[in-house]
Amino acid sequence: VLSASQDFDFFYFVQQWPGSYCDTKQGCCYPSTGKPESDFGIHGLWPNRNDGSYPSNCDSSTPFDASKISDLTNQMRSDWPTLSCPSNNGLTFWGHEWDKHGTCSESVLNQHAYFATALSLKNEINLLQALERAGIQPNGQKYSISDIKSAIKGASGYTPWIECNNDSSGNSQLYQIYLCVDSSASGFIECPVFPNGSCGSSIEFPSF
């Protein structure tokens, strides 16, 4: 018999800081539905293996179907906004995430559950509040990466990974925050393995 294989060990739950997507050389475009709030937004829920590798584009027979998540799109517009150009309503970003990553965890989460789970994970840990309560605000100042990580660990109990990018002047800045989720997507776990990539020891947290 055919059985659904689960070719991954955990998920990365990745959120992006919109100010750091937009202040790059490349710039950004606000969604057609308007400028997002000044908050972290979901990038994706990515199945990953303990050796650092990951599957992608696993099932072309179940392509993204917007009609399956019509009950979620209002919340997705605020919690999972797209910032790529040209300006659009978000379906392209969400469809890309489902087709590339979501189809690799279909044995655990169907398309509706994939998006609903990501939305609920975002509500479980308020990253911006965790940072602001530790005095780390999106005001263009620089903060130490260890202070940023401690603030999130202190508020959530979990050690995050920070991914940086560069603003248009070349300053290293807080771009994405990674947290890990168990393979059945029932909750956060400590990451079995962290991604690669370097930040400076002190990084900018730009406004949005």
For 46, 65, 155, 181, the CA distances from 15, given in Å and listed in that order, are 11, 23, 16, 13
As a whole number of angstroms, the distance between CA 206 and CA 208 comes to: 7
Nearest distance, CB of residue 1 and ligand 5GP, angstroms: 28
Q: What angle do CA 167, 20, 197 make, to 5 degrees?
A: 80
96 carries an active-site annotation: no
Which of 1/106 has CB closer to ligand 5GP?
Answer: 106
Amino acid (one-letter) located at 55: P
Query: Which chain residues interact with ligand 5GP by CB under 6 A?
Result: 12, 16, 21, 43-44, 46, 48, 54, 82-84, 93, 96-97, 100, 145-146, 149, 161-162, 164, 195, 197-199, 201
Q: What angle do CA 19, 99, 165 make, to 5 degrees?
A: 25
Catalytic entry in 43, 106, 163, 204: 43
97 carries an active-site annotation: yes
124 carries an active-site annotation: no
Which of 16/103 has CB closer to ligand 5GP?
Answer: 16
Closest CA to 74 of 21, 43, 38, 31: 31
Nearest distance, CB of residue 5 and ligand 5GP, angstroms: 16
As a whole number of angstroms, the distance between CA 61 and CA 55 comes to: 16
Which of 51/67 has CB closer to ligand 5GP?
Answer: 51
Which of 161/208 has CB closer to ligand 5GP?
Answer: 161
Nearest distance, CB of residue 119 and ligand 5GP, angstroms: 16
User: Which residues are the active-site residues?
Assistant: 43, 97, 101
